[in-house]
Chain A
Amino acid sequence: MPRALVTVLALCLSFAFAPVARAQQSDLQSVLQDNQDAVANPSRSTVNEVIDALVASGLPGVAEFLSRWQEREVVVREEDGLFFYVEDDQLIDIATGEAAGPVPDDGIDEVRPNGGVRRELAGALVQFQLSSPDIAERRAALDAISGDMSADQIEPLAASIEDEPSARIAARKQRLLAMLTARFGEDTEARVEAIRQITNGVSVELRGVLNQILTTSDEVSETVPEDVNVARTYVPGEDMSLDAAYSELVERDLAPPRVSDADIYAALTQNIADGAVGGVPVEELSDPARRIDAYEALAAEGTVPGFVGPDDMAAAVDAYSFYAIYDEPDPAVTDAARAALDGVETRVGLSEAADLSLDALSLASIYFLAAIGLAVTFGVMGVINMAHGEFIMMGAYTGYVVQSLVPNYTISIILALPLAFAVTFALGVAMERLVIRWLYHRPLETLLATFGISIALQQLAKNIFGTQARPFTAPDWLAGSMVVSDVISISFVRIAIFVLGLFFLGLLLFILKRTRLGLEVRAVTQNPRMAASMGINSERINMLTFGLGSGIAGIAGVAIGLYAQVTSEMGSNYIVQSFMTVVVGGVGNVWGTLAGATLIGFLQKGIEWFNPSNTLAAQTFMILFIILFIQFRPRGIVALKGRAAGD
């Protein structure tokens, strides 16, 4: 510690009074020559002296020299032992920074500090960097400290705060200093105070510090000693399994090792004599109980170590206490850290919930986009369009084709959205005119006919675009993500999809509630015959509705293509979820689809949270939940009432 203190003071001096210092000292080369051997052949034991001497000299080139030394850019000339930098095959004079002629072919040795020395050098450099005039360098130094904290960083850090010009970095330094104090400080009160200071936010750094303070190690002894900081005690059989407890004992040589089944087998095979082991005939050894009999007989003879049965294990474990102690001996500090960590973890939990909600919201908007077109056609015409997923796929491929023609990502995405709508709108209208119109009275057969179209379209896409995934790249301004804290972040693509979903929600509501077309669509939805009697051309309405629904599927395809891969099978990944969304939400209602998408999005993310490693299980449970949900609300969340409900 005193060495570090001297270093820091000297450093401060060297920056504050550089001209004065220069006057006092000779040049850098002579300081180095004083320690010639230690510089030319650095080792961990000698490097600190050199650093101290250099820092004490207060010369302006010290920081540069240390950094170049660390980067292995320093050479020594054999004939006179002078040091030079090497740059572009030129020797550079260390003191003046001027070229000193080309690098000769021989007579030059590189100075090669090893890893340990370089770490020491890096530590010394951090102190320089903390007060460097370059703000990026100061940030890098703080990151270095945060990544690898140690006690001797406290003082240089504390010393550098006062002269820090940037308020933000000063705050960061303060915080880092408090963290260092919490971990390595000397008196209890200062540490507890430091812990109290830093306990806000949810950063990984903070959690790391608190967890470091709270590191525990498991101990075993006959009684729990008085003078240790016990984190918790274990009760074998409740907090830890009997097997684990016994293994702890074995590890500490407090109990004889267990004899595994494999050991028994090995021992028995080695001791077969006259078709029997320990008096038990070999053919009876397929019975585990007889194997133990035979083994115990061998153990009684003394040929093998004794068998440890369950009773022996329980007795051995009973004789000892199992507990964990904090590596930190001061209970006041660990209590404060524990309380702080609990608070942090509560906040992390809340942040995670918020993050999960954001994820769920973005998933819900994807489902909404994918399902709303289906809801429109299903609700208005009672037609199940199994090819809806393929319309999504066509939309995504439209985006891909546009992007391969127009290289600018921003323009291509702006072009792709209306184009995808146009392509799928035309396809939908064509399908309605050619196929679905003939099947209005046979809804189940519509399902099958559209399925036929679906497999044909899927295979066509495969034949045209191949089976490999095609890229559809988001422009740069959509790349990356919005980071709120270490826990909460959301990618811009998802925000864009959310906005797109909102936009289409508004657009559809506007069309349905505020336009002539919407009025007619609603009339046909509620009662096609009556609507026809009132002079509404229901065929035209059906055609336009189907086109609209398909067009939105195309837009959804562009949106989905932005973050998922464009393949010929991407549609089928969404089709069942889209159906679920429509059925759960309630048919023929935009709000219903919104509710369905929200429910399914949140549900899926919620289930994934319980079992994050297994998304397949999440989907399985979600579908089961939906099947059960249909039991209680067979017509969905937002059910049409009265005559409009049909049946």
Chain B
Amino acid sequence: MRALPSSVPWFLGILGLVVLAVTVMSEAVGTGLISTSFLKVLGMTLCFCLAALAMDVVWGYCGILSLGHMAFFGLGGYAIGMWLMYARTEIIVAANLAGRAIPPTEAELRDAIGSQIFGVVGASDFPWVWGFAHSLPLQLAMVVVVPGLIALVFGWLAFRSRVTGVYLSILTQAMTLALSLWFFQNDSGLRGNNGLSGLQNIPGFLDAPQAAVALAFFLASALALALGYVFFAWVVSGKMGSVIRAIRDDEARVRFLGYPVEGFKLFVFTLTAIVAGIAGALYYPQAGIINPGEMAPIASIYLAVWVAIGGRGRLYGAVIGAAFVSLVSTWFTGGGAPDIDLGFYRVDWVDWWLVLLGVSFVLVTIFAPKGLGGLVDLWTERRGRDRHGADLGPDQGALREREAGE
């Protein structure tokens, strides 16, 4: 067993405390200080944190600025959403048909479910993508398989032709756009821009109170985040972690040293895509609705923004960034922030929040490349050596400075 970074026990401890506090204050078991809707927001935030963790590994550690991980997140959500929607509609339809004199055939049942689900796009037949929707285990497998396969094929194509840097970012963005456009079509069989809805009703727990379901998902998300953190901490530590970081810092040199760079990149890209898919599968039952707009390229850029603000190249940075920005964003856009009256103009944060975010993002990028996670360095007093202005290497985005201190 290799040694995990020292941040792991700290992280798990803080996460455990937060989860405990939230559970105690939740409506389901405790005092009810936290409303169920806010509990859902917290649970969804944890899923974002997990996705940001994956993004940090692929970008902050491996140097691939993927603008497609939110699409994998959405794919995971669609995979679980298809089962949720199918199973729930099946229950409703079966109840409707049970009143008839003659028991329905399987074909009748399926047709009735089909016309329920696809009525909004003017269809009633099940498209091939719904082939596994009747089975929870198969659809759960899809959560992992679909993002994993797409990432594998795309990554293989991209890495083998040595597309790197900004080109790779643009290519991933194109992939994301293609995916979201495909989901937007009515005839791709995923209800076009209506998306899937009613996902908050979990078949088998339809009678359970929403407070309990929300708490269960919150705990599941927290568990997934904890496991994800430990897993990624394990991946990026030790020898493999060194190679991955070396690829980020100087890909050509690693290749000349004899490491199969493409293999490592493909491994990291696919793995993080799968984790993003799992995060999405946990997120959308809490959100209750998914539509292709959430897979658009801009969502993936926001994911990169979270990681950058939190501080890339450190796992807890990604978590801090995602939690901080998405919660603050909810506060601002939800009308929680007080308006500022300038006398001649009233700053309404619902309108001005994005401007603030954009500007602060520019400022963070220029003045605080370490992000919020850099604040932790102040506390641990870990600072780079004073090199009198000389770079450690050609790439200022590299973290060799820190590693030289380790």
A and B physically associate: yes
Give B396's nearest chain A residue, CB to CB: A441
Q: Evaluate contact between B358 and A452: CB separation under 8 angstroms.
A: yes
**Chain A residues, CB < 8 A from B357:** 452, 455-456
Q: Evaluate contact between B178 and A444: CB separation under 8 angstroms.
A: no
Q: Evaluate contact between B105 and A444: CB separation under 8 angstroms.
A: no
Cα of A450 to Cα of B291 in the assembled complex, Å: 27
A439-B182 contact given A286-B106, A579-B170, A623-B174, CB 8 Å threshold: no
Cα of A462 to Cα of B357 in the assembled complex, Å: 15
A448-B171 contact given A285-B103, A438-B366, CB 8 Å threshold: no
Give A619's nearest chain B residue, CB to CB: B181
Q: Does A616 contact B (CB under 8 A)?
A: yes
Q: Does B154 contact A (CB under 8 A)?
A: yes
Stretch of B18-26, B296-304, B319-327, B378-386 lying at the A interface: B296-304
A455-B358 contact given A576-B173, A580-B174, A631-B157, CB 8 Å threshold: yes
Distance between A446 CB and nearest chain B CB, rounded to angstroms: 8
Q: Evaluate contact between A269 and B161: CB separation under 8 angstroms.
A: no
Q: Evaluate contact between A445 and B103: CB separation under 8 angstroms.
A: no
Q: Evaluate contact between A627 and B174: CB separation under 8 angstroms.
A: yes
Within 8 A of B (CB), among A251-277: 261, 265, 268-269, 272, 277
Q: Which of A282, A286, A441, A620 contacts B178 (CB 8 A)?
A: A620
Q: Does A1 contact B (CB under 8 A)?
A: no
Q: Does A460 contact B (CB under 8 A)?
A: yes
Stretch of B126-134, B202-210, B237-245, B348-356 lying at the A interface: B348-356
Highest count of chain B CB atoms <10 Å: which of A291, A454, A462, A620: A620
Q: Does A89 contact B (CB under 8 A)?
A: no
**Chain A residues, CB < 8 A from B158:** 627, 630
Q: Residues 341-378 of chain B: 1 if any A CB is under 8 Å from the residue's CB, otherwise 0?
A: 00000000001111101111110011001000000000
**Chain B residues, CB < 8 A from A415:** none
Q: Residues 604-640 of chain A: 1 if any B CB is under 8 Å from the residue's CB, otherwise 0?
A: 0000000000101101100110111011101000000
Q: Residues 170-187 of chain B: 1 if any A CB is under 8 Å from the residue's CB, otherwise 0?
A: 110111011001101101
Q: Evaluate contact between B365 and A452: CB separation under 8 angstroms.
A: yes
Known: A456-B357, A459-B352, A583-B167. 13 other contacts (CB 8 A): A384-B170, A441-B397, A444-B397, A448-B304, A449-B362, A451-B301, A452-B362, A455-B355, A614-B187, A620-B178, A623-B181, A627-B157, A634-B163
Cα of A451 to Cα of B297 in the assembled complex, Å: 12
Q: In terms of DSSP, what is the predominant structure of the interface of chain A?
A: helix
**Chain B residues, CB < 8 A from A448:** 301, 304-305, 308, 361, 365
Highest count of chain B CB atoms <10 Å: which of A435, A452, A579: A452
Q: Does B124 contact A (CB under 8 A)?
A: no
Cα of A447 to Cα of B168 in the assembled complex, Å: 12
Cα of A443 to Cα of B395 in the assembled complex, Å: 10
Q: Does B115 contact A (CB under 8 A)?
A: no
Cα of A327 to Cα of B20 in the assembled complex, Å: 83
Q: Evaluate contact between B177 and A269: CB separation under 8 angstroms.
A: no
Distance between B332 CB and nearest chain A CB, rounded to angstroms: 12
23 A-B residue pairs with CB within 8 Å: A261-B108, A277-B102, A286-B104, A288-B107, A435-B366, A444-B169, A448-B301, A451-B358, A453-B358, A456-B355, A459-B351, A459-B353, A459-B354, A460-B355, A572-B298, A580-B170, A583-B167, A619-B177, A619-B181, A620-B178, A628-B157, A631-B160, A632-B161
Q: Does B390 contact A (CB under 8 A)?
A: no
Cα of A313 to Cα of B270 in the assembled complex, Å: 53
Number of interface residues of A (CB under 8 A): 58
Q: Residues 355-386 of chain A: 1 if any B CB is under 8 Å from the residue's CB, otherwise 0?
A: 00000000000000000000000000010101
A630-B161 contact given A384-B170, A463-B352, CB 8 Å threshold: yes
Q: Evaluate contact between A616 and B185: CB separation under 8 angstroms.
A: yes
Q: Evaluate contact between A442 and B105: CB separation under 8 angstroms.
A: no
Q: Which of B174, B185, B301, B395 contacts A614 (CB 8 A)?
A: B185
Q: How many A-B residue pairs have CB under 8 A?
A: 165
Q: Does A301 contact B (CB under 8 A)?
A: no
**Chain B residues, CB < 8 A from A576:** 173-174, 177, 297
Q: Which of B108, B163, B353, B361 contacts A449 (CB 8 A)?
A: B361
Cα of A285 to Cα of B105 in the assembled complex, Å: 7
Q: Residues 85-101 of chain B: 1 if any A CB is under 8 Å from the residue's CB, otherwise 0?
A: 00000000000000011
Q: Evaluate contact between B105 and A286: CB separation under 8 angstroms.
A: yes
Q: Which of A444, A456, A619 contacts B358 (CB 8 A)?
A: A456
Distance between A206 CB and nearest chain B CB, rounded to angstroms: 35
**Chain B residues, CB < 8 A from A572:** 298
**Chain B residues, CB < 8 A from A435:** 362, 366
Distance between B168 CB and nearest chain A CB, rounded to angstroms: 10
Q: Evaluate contact between A445 and B365: CB separation under 8 angstroms.
A: yes
Q: Does B290 contact A (CB under 8 A)?
A: no
**Chain B residues, CB < 8 A from A455:** 354-355, 357-358, 361
Give A635's nearest chain B residue, CB to CB: B167
Q: Which of B105, B165, B301 contacts A443 (CB 8 A)?
A: B165
Cα of A438 to Cα of B301 in the assembled complex, Å: 21
Q: Which of A447, A616, A619 contacts B166 (CB 8 A)?
A: A447
Cα of A628 to Cα of B171 in the assembled complex, Å: 10
Q: Does B65 contact A (CB under 8 A)?
A: yes
**Chain B residues, CB < 8 A from A627:** 154, 157-158, 171, 174-175, 178
Q: Does A458 contact B (CB under 8 A)?
A: yes
Q: Which of B175, B297, B301, B354 contacts A456 (CB 8 A)?
A: B354
Q: Evaluate contact between B354 and A445: CB separation under 8 angstroms.
A: no
**Chain B residues, CB < 8 A from A579:** 170, 173-174
Q: Does B162 contact A (CB under 8 A)?
A: yes
Cα of A518 to Cα of B162 in the assembled complex, Å: 31
Distance between A71 CB and nearest chain B CB, rounded to angstroms: 46
Q: Does A283 contact B (CB under 8 A)?
A: yes
Give A265's nearest chain B residue, CB to CB: B102
**Chain B residues, CB < 8 A from A269:** 100-102
Cα of A583 to Cα of B357 in the assembled complex, Å: 29
Within 8 A of B (CB), among A541-577: 572, 576
Q: Evaluate contact between B397 and A442: CB separation under 8 angstroms.
A: yes
Cα of A282 to Cα of B105 in the assembled complex, Å: 12
Give B347's nearest chain A residue, CB to CB: A463
Distance between A280 CB and nearest chain B CB, rounded to angstroms: 10
Cα of A444 to Cα of B65 in the assembled complex, Å: 7
Distance between B392 CB and nearest chain A CB, rounded to angstroms: 13
Cα of A458 to Cα of B101 in the assembled complex, Å: 60
